[in-house]
Amino acid sequence: MEFLSVTIGDGVAVATIKRAPANALSRALILEVDALLDQVENDDAVRVIVLHGEGRFFSAGADIKEFTEIESGAEFSKLASSGQEVFERLERFPKPVIAAIHGAALGGGLELAMACHIRNVTANAKLGLPELQLGLIPGFAGTQRLPRYVGMPKAAEMLLTSEPISGEEAVRYGLANRSYSDEELLPATMELARKIAKKSPIAVKATLDMLQYSKPSTYYEGVKAEHKAFGVVFDSEDAKEGIQAFIDKREPSFVGK
């Protein structure tokens, strides 16, 4: 794989995102996450997966320049739907997936992390969904998963302001499990992964299966509505302005069209 490096030992597969400098979430990277799941699903040597990023960030967001290659809202909606399928597979995966988040998990990067079963963070990490800053909305089920973790009021604030929260705040609001220093993050996460890897794989799988029943009945309706809205918003003048402003490194000027 080009953007994911995988090492296996002590029952743990460590998958490292290697797409410098921001580990941006591209279509190719999402496909490699899916391929990773194919690789380890029936591998008895792997009982837990740890996902983290190389360099400064876990993943600082989607590949915005890739958006400029998309010509229609329908294609944008299809992109969101395919990403949702991979992330849903990740959340329903029969082996635990732990995200070790440092630097930033923003936009699609946070949506990827939210699909993992457990999230450890550095205290100073930035976690957020800043899509509205670009005249867009989250498309990989971010509008549906975020309220499940932080509650509706905080999710509304984070989405509507585009402002991230720190790793320490993420733990306080329930978005992350524990926060560590930069030096402690990966060793502590590996210790947790090895602890889980010693449990019965049958019991672990059953537990993960049961956790899926905690999703509200409207969850999948919301996910489907999100990728449709993702495409509709993409066709707006504001979305095109927001994407271009990001590329130009300037503030966007939205007109409501």
Catalytic residues: 111, 131
> In sequence order, what are the residues at sequence separation of 6 or more whose Cβ sits closer than 8 angstroms to the Cβ of residue 27?
63, 66, 79, 82
The answer to whether the bond into 130 is cis (omega within 30° of 0) is no
Give the 3-state secondary structure of residue 254.
Answer: coil
CA dihedral 134, 137, 141, 145 (to 10 degrees): 90
Torsion from C-alpha of 36, 42, 47, 49, nearest 10 degrees = 10
- What is the phi/psi pair of residue 100, to 5°? -105, 105
Packing angle of the helix pair 142-150, 152-161 (nearest 10 deg):
130
Alpha-carbon dihedral of residues 79, 83, 88, 91, nearest 10 degrees? -160
Helix axes 237-248, 219-234, angle to 10 degrees: 80
- Strands 118-122 and 178-180 turn out to be parallel
Residue 159 CA from chain centroid, whole number = 15
Q: Decide the pairing of beta strands 48-53 and 97-101.
A: parallel
